[in-house]
Structure 1
Amino acid sequence: MTSDAYHSSGVDLDRMESLKERIRAFAAVTHGPEVLNADGSFAGLYRLGGYRQPVLVASTDGVGTKIKIASHMGHFESIGQDLVTLNVNDILTQGAKPLFFLDYIAFSTLDEQRMDTLMRGIVWGCREVGCALLGGETAQMPGVYGQDGLDLAGFVVGVVERDNVLKRENIQAGDYLVGFPSSGLHTNGFSLVRRVFNIDENPTVLFRPYEELHHQLGEELLIRHRCYYPLLKPVLGFFKGLAHITGGGLPGKMPAILPDDLAADFQRDSWTVPPIFDVIQR
């Protein structure tokens, strides 16, 4: 089938190939000697060394409907960073160091500027934690997504020494709970936010400044999902368990790391609630 025939179906093979070449150039910035091939092969090769009893840890997730906020605002770099961060945070709960990352990006209409911005965010997220962007899938699928539709998913593989895996059975009554401030909504709750502010029908509300936020609503909503790996990496040995608080909040995520016979006792007045939550509740 000729490229003209593909073009008539809504897929531009020449532009897609040019895009993939640029993506490979972006990814190369994250590669170290552990990456054994960077030539666009069918699968990426990564050499693992320096571990006695390595345990591989994997996670996959997407940024959800935060994409819609990014689309309305025309800002995509932060959700590229988010895509890496939320997966890295998930494997961090097992004590793992991220090794490599793969992305899945699908859309109906090819927008090179949007893709370049998105890839800069993904690369920034990978470099922040020292993992390689090893590969991925970029798909133009007219008819599946709307005219400006975009979908993102990420997959990360990390490693931890078997003796250092964080296990729930090590947590005991009397252990301390330590919390680290979030950056806001992370990448969850955006379907609710869109309904509360009627964003889909009136996206201009995203450009409304809120005094308590010190900037526009859309800017607040696009604050990147905080990456906890650089913060916790030097002190991982002091923790018995870690919970990545995302969808479901504290009630939904804390039980995942606790033994069945234990509960967590929080001092509700020990932290300051980010103002975005008050704005949403009003």
Structure 2
Amino acid sequence: MITYKDSGVNIEEGYRSVNLIKAYAEKTMLPFVLNSIGSFAGMVELPEGYKKPVLVSGTDGVGTKLDIAFRLKKYDTVGIDCVAMCVNDILCHGAKPLFFLDYIACGKLEADVAAALVKGVADGCLQAGCSLIGGETAEMPGFYPHGEYDIAGFAAGIVEKESIINGSDIEVGDVLIGLASSGLHSNGYSLIRKIIPDLNMPFGNTTIGKVLLVPTKIYVKPILDLIKDFKIKGMAHITGGGFIENIPRMFKGDFTAVINTKSYPLPEIFEYINSLGVDRAHMYNIFNMGIGFVLCVSPQDAEAVIRSLISMGETAYKIGVVRAGGEGICIE
């Protein structure tokens, strides 16, 4: 008799995976979640207190950074990256993340690996203050190589309609404040894998592989606290496309972000990438270059905003100003 397992799909391993995952998901459940993992769909009710609530959504994956995790056999941090890439995006419009769903695909399901991936997702949700309300694990033998996984996620958040941050108030002379990244975050890894083949190479007091696997910083909690006290005119999450593509996305009008690259210290990992032959100017179109999130504020608020961020444990710098003109960005 032919069974599903004969085709490469292990149902029992799938059951074991779900049981392992449930414990991580349950830690993230907030009062507005109406059901637990295992239902056909996740259900949430909108929190009270909003007059005209707007739902803000985002979806993303981890990309080829996953290959670093596979090679190092360390699976419990890339889930944080997956959450970060989604929640940091919706944060740009002032939205508080409510819930998250993940999708994991593989060629051969190993319950312990899948559970480690979801542990990272749950950790990311806890950092972002949102609930992991569901997901999907797809075992597709012959489609994905054995030992490789892909992971993607979907986040939804909420913001009062009148409080949406969309760049419409940005003016010439406004100040750009950069929040330090935790490393490479989750962009540029196709290039990284080409120029750094040896993950065991010593780097500082650790190895280059461990540095490359540091998860993306989640900026949700400090930024949501900040916007209670200050008018933030625009925000940008520095992901794929680096400074050059992402900072101008906060503008509604014909403005140019003038970035002073000497206004903050460039982390060692980016200096090293530059030393391997990658043009520094080109790097600003690929990597976050040590700045993972950018705020636009009025000049009179800039110093107070930076002090507030520092008091919350963030590292923040005045990295540029807004000037007239439609160039989008000028890297100096």
| TM-score under structure 2 length normalisation | 0.79
Deviation by residue 1:243-270 (Cα, 9 ceiling, x = unmatched): 0001111111011111331111112210
Equivalent residues, number = 272
User: Aligned equivalents of 1:231 and 1:37: distance in 2?
Assistant: 29
Instruction: Give the superposition deviation at 1:231.
Output: 2.1
Instruction: Give the superposition deviation at 1:111.
Output: 1.7
User: Aligned equivalents of 2:157 and 2:69: distance in 1?
Assistant: 28
User: Aligned equivalents of 1:80 and 1:146: distance in 2?
Assistant: 20
Moved over 6 A (4+): none
Instruction: Give the superposition deviation at 1:116.
Output: 2.2
2:226 corresponds to 1:235: yes
Partner of 1:133: 132
Partner of 2:46: 48
Instruction: Give the superposition deviation at 1:49.
Output: 2.4
Write out aligned runs for 1:10-29 (5 A). Answer: 10-29=8-27
Q: Secondary structure at the match of 2:87?
A: helix
Partner of 2:156: 157
Instruction: Give the superposition deviation at 1:5.
Output: 1.0
Structure 2: runs of 5+ lacking an equivalent = 276-332
Deviation by residue 1:140-167 (Cα, 9 ceiling, x = unmatched): 1101101111100000000000011002
Instruction: Give the superposition deviation at 1:242.
Output: 0.4
Partner of 1:256: 249
Deviation by residue 1:156-202 (Cα, 9 ceiling, x = unmatched): 000000011002221111111111111121100000001112x2xxx
State the AA in 1 paired with 2:23.
Answer: A
Instruction: Give the superposition deviation at 1:63.
Output: 0.4
2:217 corresponds to 1:226: yes
User: Aligned equivalents of 1:135 and 1:39: distance in 2?
Assistant: 6
State the AA in 1 paired with 2:43.
Answer: L
2:266 corresponds to 1:273: yes
**Structure in which a larger fraction of residues adopt strand:** 2
Q: Secondary structure at the match of 2:118?
A: helix
Q: Secondary structure at the match of 2:31?
A: coil
Partner of 1:61: 60
Instruction: Give the superposition deviation at 1:32.
Output: 2.2
Instruction: Give the superposition deviation at 1:39.
Output: 5.1
Task: Point out the more displaced range, 156-165 or 272-281.
Answer: 272-281
User: Aligned equivalents of 1:158 and 1:172: distance in 2?
Assistant: 27
Partner of 1:202: none
Task: Point out the more displaced range, 108-117 or 215-224.
Answer: 108-117
Indicate the percent of aligned positions where both proteins have the same amino acid.
Answer: 42
Contact 2:56 2:159 survives alignment (8 Å)? yes
Deviation by residue 1:210-267 (Cα, 9 ceiling, x = unmatched): 23xx320001100110111122121124311100001111111011111331111112
State the AA in 1 paired with 2:222.
Answer: L
Write out aligned runs for 1:106-121 (5 A). Answer: 106-121=105-120
User: Aligned equivalents of 1:42 and 1:122: distance in 2?
Assistant: 20
**Structure in which a larger fraction of residues adopt helix:** 1
Q: Secondary structure at the match of 1:177?
A: strand
Structure 1: runs of 5+ lacking an equivalent = 200-204
Instruction: Give the superposition deviation at 1:110.
Output: 1.6
Instruction: Give the superposition deviation at 1:48.
Output: 0.7
Q: Secondary structure at the match of 1:170?
A: coil
Q: Secondary structure at the match of 2:236?
A: coil
Contact 2:17 2:112 survives alignment (8 Å)? no
Deviation by residue 1:22-43 (Cα, 9 ceiling, x = unmatched): 2223211111221111151211
Task: Point out the more displaced range, 135-144 or 36-45.
Answer: 36-45
User: Aligned equivalents of 2:182 and 2:30: distance in 1?
Assistant: 30
